[in-house]
Amino acid sequence: MLAVTCDKCRRRFTPTDEELQGYLRQAEGKKYALVLCPHCGKGNKIALARLAQALSGVRRAPAPAEQAAAGEQAAPAEPTQTE
């Protein structure tokens, strides 16, 4: 989660994770992304490192197929008996 204070209207807002990912895609090859204020519409420069840091804390839930595969790998093997 990233809290941004608009440079023009000084109001705080928090873009969603989907919006942050879109801003990162738009800013490829640049140092900053323009994050638009929902109140006044001004673009605020935010460093890409700050956007990436905000998104790094986001963890997506694994898909059901991934959970099943992980469960199979994590299952302990049955001990073999040798006599």
**pTM of this structure:** 0.61
What's the distance, Cα to Cα, between the start and end of the chain in Å? 59
Question: Which tokens is 63 given?
Answer: 């898909």
Cα distance between residue 6 and residue 40, in whole Å:
9
pLDDT tens-place values along the chain, 83 residues long: 899 999 999 999 999 999 999 999 999 889 999 999 999 999 999 999 999 999 987 655 444 555 555 555 555 555 666 65
The values of phi and psi at residue 31, to 5°, are -90, -25
pLDDT at position 61: 44
